[in-house]
A and B are shown apart, each in its own frame.
Chain A
């Protein structure tokens, strides 16, 4: 078989269905070149824009720092060691806040999805609170638990709880009844039925909720770090605003983006391991 044919070989029906819609996936190398090319092009357009501002004397170049200046600023903060304290502060808040939110969402969402009684007890409360933008609750958290770490962590927990809770309830509630019947006729009841069938069947959707939660954590941490923080990437952005350090603002934003990307990649990786059965290696 030639190399080309090897690449085109259909392994599963799933492949065939997906390929039917999108064509065969690109060879790895080519996909990588395209991706790297896009990043380079983005940096190029950005440098060109900031260069034009300087050359054409369009406006004060301080407003649009070029990518090299921004990356230089990040490097400078990293070398002097300032960056790491801010990164650590943000990551710690995100990890603790998100983990608490995820634990709460699973602890309440799994039983709520499985037992109609629990669902009917919890859902009205969640439905009332959910439409309130979490941001509206931030000042309240500050009043209740102070301006320190606790309010920031609690805020992340609060904001990430809802999407993770709702996807968990939905995932558990939507498990194919035929799977439950098959398991019941093999002797599975109650606890084993839940842990051996309901939970693994719901896992793909629960993981989708967890990815949403991770993304949301990085979303909301910045906001709470704008208000009364002495450390953290949100603080760094706000500090940059006060002193007109656009390179610092953009730099901190890029670091946040990278952290969010890493967080998502971690969950995707875990998902690939736990959901190996969805796309097993041929």
Chain B
């Protein structure tokens, strides 16, 4: 296949891992891989280049405007002006969805979403999406002409460097957005977080409704910290307001693939499992021997979280 564009996201000069994952897969599928950035290109050109992008099309600083309408309009204008990528890949992220949705209307083409595998067949890209809680895989490709748009879930591919030099920066002008560009970011808030990010951590310890009450979530945080990992949650306790949404693992939360996932007091609903069953090792603690989570656990402990976890924490602390 000819050319794939990857919508790359960055914050603080650092490219998001999902974008590096997409570049890595794209260069296995296409002759030419180029990145699109909503922001300045220079600070990220080296990292994008090292993962296979030869060019970075950058809008320049977007100020306090939202990314979605600006980047979608800029890509649509470039395509109208003669640029001809065969496909554009986006991560299933807050901004990735916004850009893909708006671009789809501008180009009059659908978006193939929730993709976890991308392959080539008969010269076109085929995306595979898990449905029914990951029990069935559906593969879809574009039947029409024009640019293929794919929204890919994080952690679908491993990011690897290509050894390429810095990408050449090329300007991607943003046309006048009219009313669509009227929203303004007036303030940005970062939630306190210590330790590794949930979707990048080597160990994830998650708690569910089996913890019984919000205060008991501190056990999960303590255990995660002792293991150098991140603390996750089922949607039941996010909806109950025990922990912020950013901790949610599953279909409507984060997809995680750590070396070890520890599920504590989580039943194992399909919507939860679709977000963690790619973990290398799964440990589950649940007092109900029939809980579905045991069906995918490498080590299942039928027991009370209020007994097992404190002992585990104590034993780990004793080791120092």
- Are A and B part of the same complex? no
